[in-house]
Structure 1
Amino acid sequence: MAKEKRCAALYVRVSTQEQAIEGYSLAAQERLLTDHCKQKRYEIYDIYRDEGISAKDIKHRPGMLRLLEDAKQKKFDTVLIWKLSRFSRSMPNLVTVCEELDRSNIMLVSYSEAFDSGTPAGRMVRSMLGTVAQFEREVTGENVILAMWERARRGKRTCSEVLGYDLDGKDGLKINDQEAEYVRFCFTAYLTYKCLSDVAKKAREAGYRGKRGKIPSPYSICTILSRPIYCGYNRFQGKLYKGNHKPLVSVDTYNRVQALLKRQGKTVGRHRIDPFTTIH
């Protein structure tokens, strides 16, 4: 009996942190999977890619969403992946996706883990590997939080970008004079005018812009004024840690602004995402 010819969809994914790691790149995954299809004489229907995207959910992965939509229309009978962690690191998401594929009689095949979902044993291995992938993601998340907490405790930066500063190596911040002028203007003007809208208007008239060219607005001014980083403190998970960077305003100025923001926030009923913090 002639072997059934398979039509495969290749799915490849890499997160931002993994892009520089050998073997994880999209190109490396595509080469392996394409060669595998040639050896197995699978027809490749399409290659679905998600670059720089985490596997913790599905809704933010355009490649995965497109694959699932094509799967519903049964445009292929096999989904070939390099490794199950490329497909999903969330067990609930993995179960949901695999149930959709199973309903359409589409097999999920892992190149490096040597399983396919066409048999009960393959589905059992798929489930076990999915549990391991979620465990690894959760442990990695805990380790990242611990590392960030230690950075904050040592006064190292806990952000990847902030108005008023440029990155200084992997741990520090150095003052960006042009942006720092805008930040200081916001603090001084707010204590003078006591109105976010007025400060935003004055900032626009003076030609100030955010780090990515954003035009000043009452909301963006409020965001600047409520950041303790400008008086020398880093915030991580709701707590403050003394930073090693040079402050742009004094603690006294920062505290005076916070007190005024609190009073005005209560008066106008403005909803605040982050609570205003006074430095003691």
Structure 2
Amino acid sequence: MSKVALYCRLSVEDGTGEESESIRNQRLMLIAYAQQNGWEIYDVYEDEDYSGLREDRPSFCRMIEDAKKKKFEIILCKTQSRFTRSAAMAEIYLHEKFPLWGIRFVTVVDGVDTAKKENKKARQINSLVNEWYCEELSENIRSVLRKKMELGQFLGNYAPYGYEKDIKNRHHLVILEEEAKVVRYMYDLYLSGFSCKKIAEQLSLERIPTPSQQKQSRGQDLGRKLCSQWGASTVRKILTNPVYAGHMVQGKEQKISFKSQKTVEVPRQHWVVVKHTHEAILSEKIFETVQKTMEQNRRGVRRKEFDKDISL
């Protein structure tokens, strides 16, 4: 009796908010199909809320490792797109690695079966269609997000330090006074002659919680290492962010492509800037004064470096 691995996947790209129910439906369909064909179920691998373009899906990776070790002979999915929406990944696994490992790949709905040679062209067409779908969806989502940015809606996962998301409208920012006091204090210190590094040292000395510590205290999962000390770069970001003057600036980064999670910086002229979208923590005058002072200080540093180079 052949051993079969059942693989189920669903993500936001599939257009449903009922992930758990759909995963359950996939599982029941695959179990019934395996039983009809007299296959012994080795294990059920499930990835929820993961794009089919990603190869780092936890259960997917575990299944691939088990396939290498020949723990089963067949991988069964509802459709080829459940396994992957990447044409390159489909080609690598279905037509290179699986034959090498002695793995047969079968789907219930679209009739994919790598044991049938005449089936290959259909598999390759499926791969292209699945990838085109992701590309078109990505462009549509990017267009919608851009429109929301142009309307001044805040789209970040977390509100900037000094603000929180309005409970009545998560795309609108409201002042978090406890943190806003620290923001004003930082601007005052800078205007009194403190550098970004000195401000960071002063905040740490006074044991003022860092942005990441504040978020953690509110139960927000940052997914990265907690910073217990203020850094000059964090201070600089706060001192140069127009959000504190009541303006929304978004679209500073974008993904390299719909296939990648990596981002690149967007030229300043293409940023989305919308003024007066929320209550300001600082006056426009104070914010602009700090920007001019920082620019003067940068010029002074560059001048000193230039003079030093000339004297050498």
| Equivalent position of 1:93 in the other structure | 89
| Equivalent position of 2:278 in the other structure | 245
| Equivalent position of 2:102 in the other structure | 105
Alpha-carbon distance between aligned partners in 1 of 2:198 and 2:187, rounded to the nearest angstrom = 12
Q: CA deviation at 1:51?
A: 2.8
Q: Deviations over 1:63-121 (max 9, x none)?
A: 22222222112111111112222222221222222221122121222222222221123
Aligned partners of 2:19 and 2:49 also within 8 Å: no
Query: Where do residues 220-235 of structure 1 align in structure 2 (5 Å cutoff)?
Result: 220-231=234-245, 232-235=247-250
Aligned AA (1:13)? R
Describe the shift of the 1:70–1:191 C-alpha distance in structure 2 as closer, same or farther (beyond 3 A): farther
Q: Work out the number of aligned pairs and report it.
A: 263
Aligned partners of 2:8 and 2:27 also within 8 Å: yes
| Equivalent position of 2:215 in the other structure | 212
Q: CA deviation at 1:23?
A: 7.7
Aligned partners of 1:23 and 1:29 also within 8 Å: no
Aligned AA (1:229)? V
| Equivalent position of 1:272 in the other structure | none
Q: CA deviation at 1:131?
A: 0.7
Greater mean alpha carbon deviation, residues 223-232 or residues 145-154: 223-232
Q: CA deviation at 1:16?
A: 4.8
CA RMSD of aligned residues (A): 2.7
Q: Percent of aligned pairs with the same residue?
A: 25
Describe the shift of the 1:36–1:155 C-alpha distance in structure 2 as closer, same or farther (beyond 3 A): same
Alpha-carbon distance between aligned partners in 2 of 1:235 and 1:7, rounded to the nearest angstrom = 51
Describe the shift of the 1:113–1:182 C-alpha distance in structure 2 as closer, same or farther (beyond 3 A): farther
Q: CA deviation at 1:264?
A: 6.0
| Equivalent position of 1:52 in the other structure | 49
Aligned partners of 2:2 and 2:73 also within 8 Å: yes
Alpha-carbon distance between aligned partners in 2 of 1:260 and 1:32, rounded to the nearest angstrom = 66
In structure 2, the gaps of 5 or more residues are 217-226, 253-265, 303-312
Q: Deviations over 1:191-226 (max 9, x none)?
A: 334322222222232422314244322232233333
Describe the shift of the 1:166–1:46 C-alpha distance in structure 2 as closer, same or farther (beyond 3 A): same
| Equivalent position of 1:273 in the other structure | none
TM-score (norm 2): 0.74
| Equivalent position of 2:162 in the other structure | 164
Q: Please give the secondary structure, in 2, of the residue aligned with 1:249.
A: coil
Q: CA deviation at 1:134?
A: 0.7
Q: Please give the secondary structure, in 1, of the residue aligned with 2:282.
A: coil
Q: Deviations over 1:225-273 (max 9, x none)?
A: 33332221222144132152222223443344445555666849xxxxx
Q: CA deviation at 1:126?
A: 1.7
In structure 1, the gaps of 5 or more residues are 269-280
Describe the shift of the 1:90–1:230 C-alpha distance in structure 2 as closer, same or farther (beyond 3 A): farther
Aligned partners of 1:109 and 1:116 also within 8 Å: yes
Alpha-carbon distance between aligned partners in 2 of 1:23 and 1:122, rounded to the nearest angstrom = 31
Alpha-carbon distance between aligned partners in 1 of 2:45 and 2:294, rounded to the nearest angstrom = 48
Aligned partners of 1:77 and 1:106 also within 8 Å: yes
TM-score (norm 1): 0.81
Aligned AA (2:165)? L
Q: CA deviation at 1:25?
A: 3.8
Describe the shift of the 1:17–1:256 C-alpha distance in structure 2 as closer, same or farther (beyond 3 A): farther
Q: CA deviation at 1:43?
A: 1.3
